Structure formats: structure tokens, C-alpha cells
Amino acid sequence: MIISSPSNIFYLTGCLIIPGERLLALYLNRDGSHKIFINDLFTVPEDIGVEKVRFSDSDDYLSILSSHIDHSTTLGVDKNFPARFLLPLMEKKAAADYVLASDCVDNERACKDAQEQGIMRKASEINDMAMKEFIKLIKPGVTERQVAEPMEKIYRRLGADGYSFPPLVAFGKNAAEGHHTPDDTPLKDGDCVLIDVGCRKDGYCSDMTRTFFYRSVSSHAKEVYGIVLKANRAAEAMIYPGVRFCDIDRTARDVIKKAGYGKEFTHRLGHSIGIEVHENGDVSSSNCDEIKPGMTFSIEPGIYVEGEVGVRIEDLVLVTETGCEVLNHDTKELKIIP
């Protein structure tokens, strides 16, 4: 099997290499003679547990890779292997057949071991602390961009390695857009303030959303907030090994549907998370896999009323042997920023 995803290679070797457009391939062989094909440009520790095959930009690196592959059997490739590498390898008849084999690594990555759980916990702890700092940025007349910009520095001050995705800050009706990019919209009295943020710590990600209100909240927005919170809590309360992802999604969705906002909940309930913000395995109606201890994913119901208000409340959860540990401890009670 060829593994090309940098996060899979990080998971298996402990080395994070971002190759850009260059070839990076970890070749796993049944006989245990694993090899990593890596450009001379990238420095890695002396011993990473596999043989290194080095090449330069001017080498015919695909022929080098092909010469190491067993041509007589099926080759697994991961879903991220670029067509610009795979198609020439197929032309060179590097293998007898090719299969998508991402699940081999993705299924292992889905369940975090004790060490990974510790890091995930720490990343969310920093995110909880950061949210308290971010609220302080909400001041009269401030724009979304002005709130989003200092966030990376704040994360670093709190011990994170940076953010896990660009911060999402949305005021008022902008919060009703699915994925709004912070712009020069100024804050107004009565606006909702949606903050969807995450940091990276020792290679692992956090992700959390809170929605606040500035100075006042309309009775309609308050109703919407209450429904989203109820959906969030109902979903978290049922998390237990053996429960299906699709049933968690349905539980939250039913709360929102019954309240009359089914159409305004426009996305899946959550996604798996770890080395990447979005990992294989989502909390949606189409994923009927059972959850297992060690899995980490988000629970993020939302209601988006076009032109008016958007509310999303997101926590990360860790499935335990006896239920679930919510990794975020920041309050979810409706909060009006004075």
C-alpha cells in the first residue's frame, strides 16, 4: 500500500512532512520492508522506523518508486494520492491492480489511544480558555475581521501551536450563512455573535462553537438558542459505545424538526476530529457505523434563519467505555455580552 496523506504518515511515523506538490509516499509491504520515498529537501530524524529512499527534483522519482513496488500483486492507495502520481504509475504497470485502501489507516486513526486522548483533552482545554479571551474582543463598533485577527496570537500565548482552521466570526445575519468568512461588518446592538474556532496542539486539533448576543436578544433569537442547546444536550446525553452515528444525528435533528426549524438545520450534526479537523466518519444520517471507545467527534447542531440570526453550539466529545466525556467545559447557557 502507498500512503501519501501527510497526516497518515505523521500518525504512523511521528514525522510531519508537508510536501506541497512534491512526491511523498510511504510504501507498506506485507513482508515488513516498509520504505518512505522522500525528497532531499525535507529533513527527518535519523531513525523513523522505516527505510528512506531519497530523490531530488531532477530525478525520475516515479520510476524509482515503481522499481520498489511488487508488480505482480494489487497495490492499495490512499484517497489523497494525487492523480499526477497515480496515473503515471499505472502507465508504468507498477502493480497488477489498484484498490482504494484508506480505511486501513483511517479506521485505526478513528479510535484515539490514551496518549492521543490526553493531547485532545489539552487542545480543547486551551480552546475553552481562548473562548474567554475572545469574548473580551467584542467591543462597540468592532468588525468581524478585528475579532478574528488577534486569535492566532492568543492561542499561541495560551500554549497552542496555532489555529487548526481559520477562525470563523459572524455577526447578526452573517451567522445564518453556513461558512461565513470574517469581513468588515461592524457589530450592532442585538446582533448574535457566532464564534467557531479551534487550535492545534502537538499535532492534534480542537474545534468549538459558541453563539453569544450583544447587549440584547430578541425573543425569537432566544427561542432559537434554546432549541439548539436542547438538541446539543440531547445528542451528547445518548453517546455510549455501540450507539450509531446516524441515531445521534437523528436525535438532535428531531428536536429541531419538532420545534419547526428542520429546514434551517442545513448540515450534518458533526464530524470526526484528531490529527485533522475533519477526519473520516461523520455524524450524519448516512453513517450508520457504531461508535467505539476512543472516538472523538463534534456535536454541532445549528439553526440558520436567513437574513436574521444563526445559532450553532458545538462541543467535542470523546467516547469512553461507559459513555462520553465532553471535552469542552465552556458554559453553554445563553450569554448576553454587555
Residues found near Mn ion in the complex (CB under 5 A): 207, 298
Q: How far apart are CA 34 and CA 53, in angstroms?
A: 10
Q: How far apart are CA 23 and CA 188, in angstroms?
A: 49
Q: Pick between residue 9 and residue 268 the one whose CB is nearest to Mn ion.
A: 268
Q: Pick between residue 185 and residue 298 the one whose CB is nearest to Mn ion.
A: 298
**Min dist. Cβ of residue 154 to Mn ion (A):** 19
**Min dist. Cβ of residue 314 to Mn ion (A):** 5
Find, among 200, 192, 205, 217, the residue nearest to 302 by Cα: 192
Q: Pick between residue 14 and residue 178 the one whose CB is nearest to Mn ion.
A: 178
In this structure, are residues 318 and 197 in contact, taking their beta carbons and an 8 Å threshold?
no
Q: Pick between residue 13 and residue 298 the one whose CB is nearest to Mn ion.
A: 298
Instruction: Please calculate the CA angle 315-184-177 and round it to the nearest 5 degrees.
Output: 45
Q: 3-state SS of 226-286?
A: HHHHHHHHHHHHCCCCCCEHHHHHHHHHHHHHHCCCHHHCCCCCEEECCCCCCEEEEECCC
Q: Pick between residue 4 and residue 284 the one whose CB is nearest to Mn ion.
A: 284
**Min dist. Cβ of residue 40 to Mn ion (A):** 38
Length of the chain: 338
**Min dist. Cβ of residue 164 to Mn ion (A):** 10
Beta strands 24-27 and 200-201 are: unpaired
**Min dist. Cβ of residue 324 to Mn ion (A):** 17
**Min dist. Cβ of residue 273 to Mn ion (A):** 7
**Min dist. Cβ of residue 317 to Mn ion (A):** 12
Q: Pick between residue 4 and residue 298 the one whose CB is nearest to Mn ion.
A: 298
Q: Pick between residue 207 and residue 279 the one whose CB is nearest to Mn ion.
A: 207
In sequence order, which ranges of 142-242 are alpha helices (DSSP H)? Answer: 144-148, 151-157, 219-237
Find, among 249, 236, 9, the residue nearest to 109 by Cα: 9
> What sign for the dihedral angle of Cα 265, 269, 274, 275?
negative
Q: Pick between residue 78 and residue 196 the one whose CB is nearest to Mn ion.
A: 196
Angle between helices 83-91 and 61-68 (to 10 degrees): 60
